[in-house]
Structure 1
Amino acid sequence: MDETKFQGNYRIEPARLSEYDYGSNGAYFITICTKNKNYYFGDIGIVDDEPVIQPTTIGQRAIDGWRSIPEFSPFIQLDAFQLMPNHLHGILFINKADYTDWKPNTFGPQKENLASTLRGFKSGVTAYATTNQIPLGWQTRYYDRVIRNDNELNRIRQYIVNNPVQWAQDSENKEGLYM
């Protein structure tokens, strides 16, 4: 049987670690991109000699939605976060008291894990965009990395904080400059 097909159609290989429990306690580095890497969220501008995001209405809704994740997923603790014109980076901690029931990643309904949390975030921002007739599209997937130690956590935090500074050289920056 061809492993790259499902019901006779091509499929994309899963990006998740097959034996990892994405509902278990841990730290996760997340990147979510817009569809076709369109600039929906705003521009990077200079404020007080520092590059910062100047969010659009939907960009501000994405920021507010990210900050509200713990209201809907109380087991989530937020850490570093940065919105960019066409993507966002964030660190999430899953912290469930007394969690001992390891459940490897499986295909099917998801709840109280990383996938369900990010699905809720994306659908909340999408619902706002639809209601307010604001253009928005997400890539269907997201990138995640299980953060394995404090050194890696600190390196990723620094990367997130420095992302606006690096924007002028970023290959995703179509203009090659700050706005």
Structure 2
Amino acid sequence: MTRPDRKLNRLRGFDYSRDSLYFVTSCVQHKACVFGEVVNEEMQLNKCGLIAERQWYWLAEQYSYVILHAFVVMPNHVHGILEIDRDSIVGTGRDLSTLRPDDETGAAANSSQKIKSLSELIAAYKTTASKQIRLAGLTEFSWQRSFHDHIIRNEQLYFRIKIMS
């Protein structure tokens, strides 16, 4: 069985688990407006929108190397700036079970922690948000396959994206 040619979503050869800033957009399946509505130019989140927002912040609670910057929930999609930063690793979070104590100090050797790639982090976000949204009553909820990302390579681009978010 041959599969149709599909556009690659990620930059070929780029390590998406490396320290960097990433601008991410993920859309609801069929662009269904399930997160709330814009009223007087302000987004009013409903129960599902609040879940989508809460689960974004959960990423930073769960993975100590994740720093969250600007984030917005729109009626049918989310935008966010996520940073992977190994220097921010502290002694909390689920993935720290892979850390080994340093022989002399007993401190965690941060370089041994498995850093999830951007795709793995967004998959965790979408999976947990979907589960919570379905439990809240929107049983048919799903995200569009994959997500759009942009690697933020300089401060000027960062501020331009942050202002739009």
TM over 0.5: yes
Give the alignment partner of residue 69 of structure 1, picking from 59, 84, 104. Answer: 59
Are residue 123 (structure 1) and residue 127 (structure 2) matched?
yes
Shift of 1:129: 2.0
Unmatched tracts of structure 1, length 5 or more:
1-6, 100-109, 161-179
Unmatched tracts of structure 2, length 5 or more:
88-109
CA contact (8 A) 2:48 2:136 kept: no
Matched residue, 2:72: 82
Inter-partner Cα distance in structure 1 for 2:149 and 2:3: 26
What do residues 88-111 of structure 1 show as CA deviations (whole Å, max 9, x unaligned)? 111011001376xxxxxxxxxx96
Inter-partner Cα distance in structure 1 for 2:20 and 2:122: 15
Are residue 36 (structure 1) and residue 30 (structure 2) matched?
yes
TM-score, reference length from structure 2: 0.79
Shift of 1:72: 1.6
Question: Alignment length, in residue pairs?
Answer: 141
Identical positions, percent: 27
4+ residue segments displaced more than 3 Å: none
Inter-partner Cα distance in structure 2 for 1:158 and 1:116: 26
What do residues 14-64 of structure 1 show as CA deviations (whole Å, max 9, x unaligned)? 210111010000000011111111101000112xxxx22111111100011
Inter-partner Cα distance in structure 2 for 1:111 and 1:131: 29
Inter-partner Cα distance in structure 2 for 1:9 and 1:113: 25
Matched residue, 1:158: 163
